[in-house]
Amino acid sequence: MKIGIVGTGMIVHEILPVLYKMPEIELHLICGTKRSEDTVKELADEYKINAQFTDFDFMLSSEESKELDALYIAVPNDLHYELAKKALESGKNVIMEKPFVLESCKALELKELAEKKGVILLEAISNQYLDAYKKIKDALSMLGEITYAEANFSQYSSRYDRFMAGEYFKVFDKAAGGGALTDINIYNIHIMAGLFGMPTSVEYCPRNVKDVDVSGLLLLKYDNFIASCIGAKDSQGSSGILIQGTKGYIETKAATNVLNAAINIVLRDGSKKELIPEAADDHRMMAEFKEFARIVENKDLKEAQSRLNESLIAVKILEEAVQRESKFAR
C-alpha cells in the first residue's frame, strides 16, 4: 500500500519507524504545516519519503497524491473531520487516527461521503486488530451470562507536568478535543463497543483540572450488566481488562492499547486456561496497518464497513459521555 502521512506529531514519530520496515507499506509522501516545515524535511530524509508538503490542499491536488493508495491522517483531534472530508472529496482512501471524530453527525457525514465516493474510511485504533483482542472476543462464550466488565488504561502523561506548569498542549485542551476521555479512554471504549456494542446509557465522571478531564470513570449500562472504563493521564495505575460472567472470568494485565500480556480464563468449575497473544512483541500498530493494507489493496468494502460501524458506536459513546458528564472540578 502506497501511503501518505499527514501530521508530524508524537504518533507520527512513533509509527514511521514501524511503517518504514513493513513490506506491506510504501511511504510515498508526508504533509505537515508551514510551521512544521523543518520537521517534515527531517522525517522525509530519515525515512526516505520523496514527496514533502506543508499545505494540505496543495498536496491533495498534486501529481504525487494521485499515486496514493491511502492517506493516514494523524493530526490533532479537532482537525480530523475537516481534513478527512477534504481527502474523501478528492477520492482518497482515508485512515484516520483515533478518536475518529467527536460528533455523531460528522461521523455519519464522513461515512456517507466515503460510500458516495466509493472509497474506504477506517479509524486507526490499535487494540481492535491485536491477537489478544480476538482471543478475548472468542472466549466470551465460556463465561455464560456477562455480569460485569471493566477496562483500565492509566498512564502518567509525559506532558502532564509541563501542562500543570502552564505549557499549552492541544491534548489537554477540551475545546480542541483533548482530555483523557478522547486520548486514552477511547481504547477502553473500543474494547466495550467491539465486544458488546452500543450501551443503553452512558455517564462520565471526570477529574477536571484547568477545565479539562485529566482522568475519569466512564460507566456504560448494558441490558444486564455495567461496564466501567477508567482512563487517566494524571496517574499511573494497574491497567487491564476484567470481564466477569456467571460461569467465570477473563482477565489480562495489559494496557488496553497494546494488550501484550497473557489472558487468563478462570471458570467456576475449577478449570483454568492461559492464552498467550501472538506477535505480542511487535509494535502495537503493526497489526492494524497490515490489515489496512489488505483491506485497501483488496478493496474489501464489507470489512471496512464493519470496522467503520464500530467507530460510529465509539463516537456515539464519546458524544453521550460529554453530554452526561458529572463534574467535580479542581
Same domain, 145 and 233: yes
Using alpha carbons, list the distances in angstroms from residue 273 to 135, 136, 250, 284: 12, 12, 10, 24
**Domain annotation covers residue 101:** yes
**Domain annotation covers residue 173:** yes
Same domain, 133 and 267: yes
Q: Which domain holds residue 279?
A: 128-285+315-329
**Domain annotation covers residue 95:** yes
CATH number of the domain where residue 65 is located: 3.40.50.720
Same domain, 206 and 268: yes
Q: In the predicted model, is pLDDT for residue 183 greater than 60?
A: yes
CA pseudo-torsion sign 268, 274, 278, 281: positive
**CB-based contact 213:179 (threshold 8 Å):** yes
Cell, residue 31? 504533509
Chain centroid to CA 77: 11
Same domain, 80 and 213: no
Same domain, 134 and 280: yes
* End residue of a domain, out of 78, 100, 125: 125
* End residue of a domain, out of 125, 146, 173: 125
Same domain, 13 and 105: yes
Q: In the predicted model, is pLDDT for residue 182 greater than 50?
A: yes
CA pseudo-torsion sign 289, 22, 18, 259: positive
Question: How far apart (Å, rounded) are the C-alpha atoms in residues 161 and 268?
Answer: 45
CB within 8 Å of 276: residues ≥ 6 apart: 262, 263
* End residue of a domain, out of 109, 125, 141: 125
Q: What is the pLDDT of residue 327?
A: 55
Q: What is the pLDDT of residue 14?
A: 97
Segment 187-244, tens digit of pLDDT: 999 999 999 999 999 999 999 999 999 999 999 999 999 999 999 999 999 999 999 9
Same domain, 51 and 71: yes
Whose cell is 493521564? That residue is 233
Cell, residue 11? 504518533
Same domain, 46 and 161: no
Segment 125-164, tens digit of pLDDT: 999 999 999 999 999 999 999 999 999 999 999 999 999 9
Q: What is the pLDDT of residue 326?
A: 72
**Domain annotation covers residue 299:** no
**What percent of the chain shows pLDDT beyond 70?**
99
Rounded to 10 degrees, the C-alpha dihedral 299/78/67/296 comes to: -10
Neighbouring-strand partners of residue 44: none
**Domain annotation covers residue 133:** yes
Segment 230-257, tens digit of pLDDT: 999 999 999 999 999 999 999 999 999 9
**Domain annotation covers residue 306:** no
Q: What is the pLDDT of residue 71?
A: 98
Segment 298-326, tens digit of pLDDT: 999 999 999 999 999 999 999 999 988 87
Q: What is the pLDDT of residue 191?
A: 98
Same domain, 60 and 171: no
**Domain annotation covers residue 291:** no
| pTM score | 0.96
CATH number of the domain where residue 237 is located: 3.30.360.10
Segment 68-119, tens digit of pLDDT: 999 999 999 999 999 999 999 999 999 999 999 999 999 999 999 999 999 9
Number of separate domains in the chain: 2
Same domain, 258 and 187: yes
Same domain, 57 and 120: yes
Q: In the predicted model, is pLDDT for residue 259 greater than 90?
A: yes
99: closest CA among 120, 118, 117, 73? 73
SS (H, E, C) the chain: CEEEEECCCHHHHHHHHHHHHCCCCEEEEEECCHHHHHHHHHHHHHCCCCEEECCHHHHHCCCHHHHCCEEEECCCHHHHHHHHHHHHHCCCCEEEECCCCCCHHHHHHHHHHHHHHCCCEEEECHHHHCHHHHHHHHHHHHHCCEEEEEEEEECCCCCHHHHHCCCCCHHHCHHHCCCHHHHCHHHHHHHHHHHHCCCCEEEEEEEEECCEEEEEEEEEECCCCEEEEEEECCCCCCCEEEEEECCEEEEECCCCCCCCCCEEEEECCCCEEEECCCCCCCCCCHHHHHHHHHHHHCCCHHHHHHHHHHHHHHHHHHHHHHHCECCEEC
Same domain, 144 and 120: no
Q: What's the pLDDT band for 329 if we cut at 50, 70, 90? A: very low
**Domain annotation covers residue 297:** no
Mean pLDDT of 291-301: 97
